[in-house]
Amino acid sequence: MFTIECSTSVAQEGRSQLASGLRFFRHPESSFLTIGRSSAQPTPPLTHSPKRSTRSTSLNTPLGFFKDDSSVSRPVQAHQLTRRLSQFQLGSFVDQAASETSSPSQSTSLEKILHPVPESDTSDPSKYAPLNTSKVPDVVESISQLSPFQPFGIVESMLGSKPPPASIVQSPPVSAMQTLRVIKYLRPGYLWDFWLADHSQYGKVVLKLVYLPNYPCNRPDYDDYVPPEEVITEALKEESLYLGPLTKLQGELVPKYYGLYHSIPGSYHIAILLEHAGHAIGPGEVDLDEEWQEKLYSAYQRLHRHGVVHRDVSTRHILIDDQERIRLVSFRRSDQKDLKDEDDVGTLMDEAIIVRTRIGPESLDEIDCDSLPAAYYSDLENPESFLQELRDVANAPWPDWVIEHNRRLVDLRLPPSDDINWEEYM
């Protein structure tokens, strides 16, 4: 949760109706949790332990410990173990007389050790139910009393699979309202406005913001119309990718994801916080040398190997960070694919070709399925059969309707398809 700080001149830019003092809380449907590192102290060495050392509970009895012990250390029998536990109660000494009139709490402790309750026993869950540490984080972002929503766990149904381990996020605990100082307006998007900001905990971030009463694609006559009630669906889909297949790529190939929020009161704003991951190589066309071409192709191959098709290949969505790494953004239209499904692999390979021809730029005549890395299809059951099918499709003759279409284009003095030697049909 955070409070906006911005100057009047900055707040007037964009379409987001920003204002200092606007407060944001984690959205109740978000699966993002802020995980803190454990505050538990390491166990001190024995010489520095603040507690007095207790007697051994080893099954080998020390010399002369009980009256009936022999002069040689020997294994303790079951009845002797019972006697010892009743006498010492896990290290707290009581004499023989006291053990005969042990308190109810001591008997209970003894019973727990001698007759442990199995995990399946639900007679008293509060005492015996084990903690599931894989789902219970050390620190969960607190929700202010100003928010009507209470803390909740990760919703697995959002991801379609189990959520990533809590150690992935590793953020310091957030226990109070943070400050987000908005620095400048970056640019408008089809759905989101983008702002550069400085977060009091995360540092430099990008604030993606939608003001529900006024955003550009809220027009039913648009092909890509997004009604107000579906804006949160769009945001949750993007979150599911960041918390799912993109989890291990955060901070390297894609920005770190810092959560989904809404404004209180009113919920007029929907916000996503992302790491500021660099500057775009676009807009417009770029001329990449061989080194940067290889970096770009490797970046998309890595994305594709994680089963994600970008579906928004543009120089505006390809960034270069301070370490001269390619970073990819804008996953609103992205989908997850199966690397063992031929149709899905074909979709990923098509996008790899688009990257080479649209951004590279390389000629389409020089790119085919055999020019792409084998890593794209290595997980298929029969990679060679798959490649041969692609070759057959590429070498198949054009259908009659395509030839006729290009003839009409030539008659109108328009360029036909680059893939047809149209002079044969003049």
For residues 249 and 171, which has the higher predicted lDDT (pLDDT)? 249
Q: Residue 361's domain spans which residues?
A: 279-395
Structural domains of the chain, count: 3
Peptide bond preceding 75: is omega within 30 degrees of 0, i.e. cis?
Answer: no
Residue-averaged pLDDT of the chain: 75
Point out the domain boundary residue: 275, 292, 327.
275
- In a domain, residue 59? The reply is no
Q: Is the pLDDT of residue 300 over 60?
A: yes
Task: Kindly report the CATH number assigned to the domain that includes residue 182.
Answer: 3.30.200.20
- Take residue 7 and report the two structure tokens written for it: 């100057």
327-366 per-position pLDDT tens digit: 999 999 999 999 999 999 999 999 999 999 999 888 888 8
- Asked if 336 and 238 count as a contact pair (C-beta separation under 8 A), the reply is no
Do 164 and 30 have their domain in common?
yes
Do 409 and 390 have their domain in common?
no
- In a domain, residue 68? The reply is no
For residues 15 and 10, which has the higher predicted lDDT (pLDDT)? 10
Do 344 and 372 have their domain in common?
yes
Do 189 and 222 have their domain in common?
yes
**Worst-scoring range by mean pLDDT, 36-50, 202-216, 269-283?**
36-50
Specify the long-range contacts of residues 65-73, CB closer than 8 Å, at least 24 apart.
Answer: none
- Tell me the C-alpha to C-alpha distance, in Å, between residue 110 and each of 14, 82, 345: 69, 8, 61
- In a domain, residue 118? The reply is no
Point out the domain boundary residue: 248, 275, 302.
275
**Mean predicted confidence (pLDDT) in 166-193:** 75
pLDDT band for 409, please (50, 70, 90 cuts). Answer: confident
How far does Cα 395 stand from its chain's mean position?
42
**Of residues 206, 211, 185, the one with CA closest to residue 10:** 185
- Asked if 171 and 201 count as a contact pair (C-beta separation under 8 A), the reply is yes
Peptide bond preceding 361: is omega within 30 degrees of 0, i.e. cis?
Answer: yes
- In a domain, residue 178? The reply is yes
Torsion sign across C-alpha atoms 414, 418, 419, 421: positive
- In a domain, residue 18? The reply is yes
**Site of tokens 């919703």:** 155
- Asked if 186 and 10 count as a contact pair (C-beta separation under 8 A), the reply is no
DSSP conformation class of 75: B
**Mean predicted confidence (pLDDT) in 257-271:** 93
Do 389 and 400 have their domain in common?
no
Tally of residues, the chain: 426
Do 23 and 148 have their domain in common?
yes
- In a domain, residue 42? The reply is no
Do 178 and 215 have their domain in common?
yes
pLDDT band for 75, please (50, 70, 90 cuts). Answer: low
Point out the domain boundary residue: 275, 301, 325.
275
**Mean predicted confidence (pLDDT) in 122-139:** 38
- In a domain, residue 70? The reply is no
Do 144 and 268 have their domain in common?
yes
**Of residues 204, 181, 209, 247, the one with CA closest to residue 33:** 247
Q: Is the pLDDT of residue 46 over 80?
A: no
**Worst-scoring range by mean pLDDT, 9-13, 302-306, 309-313, 393-397?**
393-397
CA–CA separation, 350 and 295 (whole Å):
18
Residue 217: partners with Cβ closer than 8 Å, 6 or more residues away: 190, 191, 224, 225, 226
The pLDDT, as a whole number, for residue 65 is 37
Do 267 and 371 have their domain in common?
no
**Mean predicted confidence (pLDDT) in 217-232:** 90
**Of residues 297, 290, 291, 292, the one with CA closest to residue 281:** 292
Do 283 and 387 have their domain in common?
yes
- In a domain, residue 231? The reply is yes
Do 16 and 157 have their domain in common?
yes
Q: Is the pLDDT of residue 396 over 80?
A: yes
86-110 per-position pLDDT tens digit: 444 444 343 444 444 444 444 444 4
**Site of tokens 């192709």:** 297
Do 315 and 179 have their domain in common?
no
Task: Kindly report the CATH number assigned to the domain that includes residue 390.
Answer: 1.10.510
